Amino acid sequence: MREHLTEQNLKHLKKEDIVKKIFLFLFTLLMFYNIFALKINEFIVTPTSAEKIELYNDDTTNVDLSGYKLYVIGASSTSSTTFKPDTIGVGVYKAFALDTTNFVSSIGLPNDGAIIVIKDSLNNLIDSVGYGDLGPAPAPIYNFSCARVSSTGDNADDFNMDFTPTMGSANDCSANQLGTGSVFINEVYPSDSNDNSTAVVEFIELYNNSDTPVDISNWVIVCDDDYYIPSSTTISAYGYFVLLDTSFPTYFHLDASRDNVYLYNNTGNRIDQVGWHNIPVDSSFSVIPNGRRTFFKGYNEITSVDFKIDKPTQGAYNNIETNIISKNDNSIKVYPLMNVGIRVQANTDYDSKLFIIDISGRILYTSFLKDLLFTAKSGTYFVKIQKSDGKYFVYKVDVVK
C-alpha cells in the first residue's frame, strides 16, 4: 500500500516533504479471512491458573503441530513459545493450557488486551485474533471465555464473550448484534489519578436514541466484571440509564489509562463496545453529537470514532467539545474516492500530524499534515489529524472498490 501523488499534488509538496514520509507499523497483522483450516476457536485469560487457548481443525486431514508457534503481542512486548509435538484430528476441538504441558515454555494472556497469533513451522500466519484494547474481540472477564461464533474475518463479529466456556467442544455462545436497536453506550467517566475521594463518582451512561421506551431488564454491562441491569428497567424515549460506581460489582473498574466497556442484551448478544487510552483528569469519553452513533466495534480511542474527550454530563446531553476540529472546517477535508482510496485535502503543516489507520488498529501511514491521495483496499479506515495546538479529530472513511 503506498501513496499516489498526482502532478497537481506534487506542486504542493517540496522535495523535503517526500524525504520526511514515514511509514510506522505498530502491528504486522491484518484481519484477513483465515485461509487455513486451523482456527483459534476460544480462549480464557483469567484466572491465570485457567489460561487456555482452543484450536479447531476445520480441514479434511489431520494437522501436525510440529514447529507451530504461539505469539502473544501485548501493549509493550511480545512473547512466544512453541507447541510440543501434537496432532489435531479432523473436526476436533482441542484446548491447550498455556504451560509446559503443551508448550516448550509457558506463556500468559494479558487481561486488558493482546493479539494472539498462530504460525506454522514455515512461519505462515495460520490465524490471529486481537482482543481488549488491542483488537475488536471482547476481553473475557474472570472465568469467562472469548469464543468464535463465525468466520467472516472480522474479529468484532467473529468472537463474543462466552459466559459458560466450552473448552474442548463446539461453542454455544450467542452471536453478536453490534449496532442493532436504539440503546447504546453514550458516555464513560473513568477513574483518574485524582480520584481519591468518595465524592468523585465514576459512571457509564446508556442512551435510547428513539421515540419509543426500551426495556433493558437483565442487560449486562461489562468492564472487568459484569453488572446485570435490574428487572423492570426501562429507558424512556431519548432518555438515559446511568450506572454509578456506587453500584459497581466488586471487580468492576473504569481505568482512565486503558480499558474497555461492553454492552450485552438479555440473551447475551453483544450490542456495543468502546475502548480508550489515557483519558485526561476529570474528563469523560462522550458521544458527540449526543446519541449519534455510527460505529459499534471500537476498542481504543482511535477506533471508537463516535467518542470524544469532554466534560462529564451524567444523565444529560453531552457538551460540544471545543478541542475538536469541525468536519466543516474548510481547511481540511477527508473523504473516500470510489475505486481509489482516501483523499485528504489540506494545506501543508509540518507541525501537525496525519495518521491513516485500518480497522484492526494498524497504522498504515503517518506524516505531517498535507494534501494526500492514499490508495486503499475496500474497508473501513480512520484518518486521525493531530493539530499542533492540541486539537484533533478522527474521520471514519469507508472505501468501496
What DSSP assignment string belongs to 109-122?
Answer: --SSEEEEEEE-TT
CB count, 10 Å around CB of 217?
13
Residues 295 and 194 in one domain: yes
Specify the pairing of strand 284-287 against strand 270-277: unpaired
Residues 104 and 207 in one domain: no
pLDDT score, position 4: 43
Task: Determine contact, residues 366/286, Cβ cutoff 8 Å.
Answer: no
pLDDT score, position 384: 87
Q: Which amino acid is at 162?
A: D
Residues of 260-291 as b/e, b for ≥16 C-beta within 10 angstroms?
A: bbbbbbeebbbbbbbbbeebeeebbbbbbebb
C-alpha cell at 385: 489529524
Question: Which residues sit opposite 88 in a β-bridge?
Answer: 63
Give ∠ CA 184-177-356 in degrees, rounded to 5: 75
Residues 376 and 284 in one domain: no
Q: Which amino acid is at 16?
A: E
Task: Let me know if residue 33 belongs to a domain.
Answer: no
pLDDT digits (tens, 9 = 90+) for 115-172: 999 999 999 999 999 999 999 999 999 999 999 999 998 999 999 999 999 999 999 9
Mean pLDDT of each 10-residue bin along the chain, 401 residues long: 40 38 34 65 94 96 96 95 97 97 96 97 96 97 97 95 96 96 96 58 93 96 97 94 95 93 98 95 88 94 92 82 46 84 89 85 87 90 83 83 78
What CATH number did the domain enclosing 239 receive?
2.60.40
pLDDT score, position 329: 58
Residues 381 and 346 in one domain: yes
Residue with cell 458516555: 187
The boundaries of the domain holding residue 333 are 7-26+325-399
Task: Let me know if residue 174 belongs to a domain.
Answer: no
pLDDT score, position 34: 46
pLDDT score, position 327: 47
Residues 331 and 288 in one domain: no
pLDDT score, position 398: 87
Backbone angles phi, psi at 78, to 5 degrees: -120, 135
Task: Determine contact, residues 130/273, Cβ cutoff 8 Å.
Answer: no
Number of domains making up the chain: 3
Task: Let me know if residue 105 belongs to a domain.
Answer: yes
Nearest-angstrom CA–CA distance, 358 and 135: 11
Q: Which of 345, 387, 349, 383 is nearest to 363 (CA)?
A: 383
Nearest-angstrom CA–CA distance, 372 and 364: 14
Give ∠ CA 157-161-164 in degrees, rounded to 5: 140
Task: Determine contact, residues 153/32, Cβ cutoff 8 Å.
Answer: yes
Question: Which residues sit opposite 32 in a β-bridge?
Answer: none
Task: Let me know if residue 168 belongs to a domain.
Answer: no
Task: Let me know if residue 317 belongs to a domain.
Answer: no
Task: Let me know if residue 227 belongs to a domain.
Answer: yes
Residues 157 and 198 in one domain: no
Q: Identify how many contiguous H helices and E strands the chain contains and give both numbers.
A: 3, 29
What DSSP assignment string belongs to 364-401?
Answer: EEEEEE--EEEE--SEEEEEEEE-TTS-EEEEEEEE--
Task: Let me know if residue 199 belongs to a domain.
Answer: yes
Task: Let me know if residue 379 belongs to a domain.
Answer: yes
Domain end (from 129, 162, 195) = 162
Q: Which of 268, 255, 152 is nearest to 220 (CA)?
A: 268
pTM of the model: 0.75
Is 19 strand, coil or helix?
helix
Q: Which residue blocks in 114-242 are alpha helix, DSSP H? A: 155-158
